[in-house]
Amino acid sequence: EGRIRIGVPSRHVRKQKNVHDRIMATIITAHIAPVVASRAQLATSRPLSYSRASSSTSATSKLASYKPCTRQISRVVCAADGSKGFAAGPSKKGNKRVNISSPADIPKGWENAGKVEEYDAQPRKPIISPYTKEAFMVFMFEGKFYATEANGTAFKYPLVDAVISNGEKGPVITVPLDGTSYDLTTGEVLEWCPTDNFVRGIIGGLKKKTAPVALKVFQTKVASDNTVIFKGQRE
């Protein structure tokens, strides 16, 4: 009696852990979850591209400008195929062009992402497929187009506000909420849930034991009539 059993947490330690868990849950519920929900609602309420038979609606709202990330990230945490390794160098060429005279000629399995000129004022656009109802994001960065799934893979935070910058091996897309960075060309995870500020320190701890998940990216082309198309998930 009175001896402490080794390996069994004391009542005080268990109580502290319960308090810590409750605090984290309160912070996430009160501050983080509403932000994610509001950004998801905003992403789906902005002008979208739908059918191949009609041209997409021009976007009118202005996006907030971001200060480019100055960190040069090259190490790949998780490759798009689930393996570990290093990203291949980016192509210096623009998107491949295909001969299409009208949106109705877009091949099966490809999605209409609007006209090239629409991206001059707003270099990113959320897209919802009329076929699969899947959500995507299309970005124009330094004259080239990239298509990804609509949300980050750590906390499903919408990429409509993602920061795109130049990395050592090509464009890098970073999720504002959790700071996860991906190779925009391949979808490889470059940095998974860094804990570099207060909020990320909390939510990053929740993913500490979770394996990084690569971002889905899709092939993009520019048609002869300046329509941007990408290969969706519909066969």
CB atoms within 10 A of CB 116: 17
Q: How far apart are CA 157 and CA 33, in angstroms?
A: 10
Average pLDDT taken over every residue of the chain: 74
Structure-block tokens of residue 10: 């004391």
Q: Assign 26 a pLDDT band (cuts: 50, 70, 90).
A: low
Query: To which H or E segment does residue 202 belong?
Result: helix 198-206
Q: Average pLDDT, stretch 88-115?
A: 70
pTM, 2 dp: 0.64
- State percent of the chain over pLDDT 90: 48
Q: How far apart are CA 192 and CA 204, in angstroms?
A: 8
**pLDDT of 57 over the 50 cut:** no
**pLDDT of 6 over the 50 cut:** yes
The lowest-confidence range among 26-35, 57-66, 166-175, 196-205 is: 57-66
Per-residue model confidence (pLDDT) at position 92: 47
**pLDDT of 55 over the 80 cut:** no
Q: Identify which of 40, 28, 18 has the alpha carbon closest to the alpha carbon of residue 198.
A: 28
CB atoms within 10 A of CB 172: 27
Q: Looking at residue 53, what DSSP letter applies?
A: T
**pLDDT of 46 over the 60 cut:** no
Residue type, 41: Q
Q: How far apart are CA 50 and CA 56, in angstroms?
A: 7
Per-residue model confidence (pLDDT) at position 35: 56
Q: Looking at residue 119, what DSSP letter applies?
A: H
